[in-house]
Amino acid sequence: MNKPISAKDVAPPKVTTGPLPGSRKVYSAPQGHDDVAVPLREIGLAEGATFRVYDTSGPYSDPDASIDVQRGLLPLRTPWVEARGSVEVYAGRVVRPEDNGAVAASHLARPFAGERQPMRGIAGAPVTQLELARAGIVTKEMIYVAHRENVGRERQGEEAEARLADGESFGASLPPFVTPEFVRSEVARGRAIIPANINHPESEPMIIGRNFLTKINANIGNSAVTSSVEEEVEKMVWAIRWGADTVMDLSTGRNIHATREWIIRNAPVPIGTV
């Protein structure tokens, strides 16, 4: 006879953490913005040299970060969102059985334990990065994105402009160095997007557009053979360790709401769903 399992008997979920081989996690702040810490991966080379590259792995590759999957990542962008004064918190609706595929109570996945009270925009106030960009506002997210996009350009230094002149633009408008104002302008013109949902404050700002670095999407999804919230979060963690800028969760079937809540609360990159 199977013994009933209580919540206190279930071991906390574990995910892969630690620096990637031959490298370490570092942070860099844009000039004049010490409160904006942009993550980078610093690769060790011969004779003590180092090489910094764009990093999508989030705090999972930071040995100093305290990772608790049950509580989720720290809400990096919440202070930025709240400081703009254009949102308010509200009581979200309760989770209904159909949200999790009408699965029987005996097969329900563990609900996410951390609390994130949802936010919504105040009527008439700009909330999205597009609305803010078109209102002429340079946000913390835009400052973060600009510094992140410049990692390769800064390495080239004075050669950046010369290298740009040597290439074929194919109609693109690529500056030698990306500025926060350039980011704002591209978003305002509809040529780029910053997928920074106010209800996913754990995500690190990134930008998608023809005049910016190429981004990579990874698809993950549950399995008909074996699937748990721990496994789905681990899939997301491995996707970003290998360089995924965004992750699309293609899961179907039971426990969809619970699974996606665990993924989103632990994801430092934008999450898409179907």
Residue range 205-262, pLDDT digits in tens: 999 999 999 999 999 988 767 778 888 999 999 999 999 999 999 988 787 788 889 9
Largest Cα–Cα distance of the chain, in whole Å? 74
* Cβ neighbours around 237 below 10 Å, total: 24
The residues with which 28 forms a beta bridge, in sequence order, are 38
pLDDT band at residue 92 using 50, 70 and 90 as cut-offs = confident
pLDDT classification of 153: cutoffs 50, 70, 90: confident
Distance in angstroms (rounded) separating the CA atoms of residues 47 and 232? 40
Using CA atoms, how far apart are residues 129 and 131, in angstroms rounded to an integer?
6
Write the CB contacts of 141 (distance below 8 Å, at least 6 apart in sequence): 77, 80, 129, 194, 196, 205
How far is residue 119 CA from its own chain's centroid? 18
Contacts of 211 (CB under 8 A, 6+ apart): 172, 173, 174, 175, 186, 191, 192
| pLDDT above 80: residue 106 | no
Q: What is the distance between the alpha carbons of residues 202 and 112, in angstroms, rounded to a whole number?
A: 15
**How far is the C-alpha of 236 from the C-alpha of 244, rounded, in Å?**
9
Lowest-confidence pick of 12-26, 70-84, 107-121: 107-121
**For all residues of the chain together, what is the average pLDDT?**
88
Bigger pLDDT: 45 vs 175: 45
Mean pLDDT confidence for 18-25: 95
Burial track 42-61 (b if 16+ CB lie within 10 A, e otherwise): beeeeeeeeebebbbbbbbb
Neighbours of 23 (CB within 10 A): 19
Q: What are phi and psi of 188, to 5 degrees?
A: -60, -35
Query: What is the pTM (predicted TM-score) of this model?
Result: 0.89
Tell me what pLDDT residue 182 has. 98
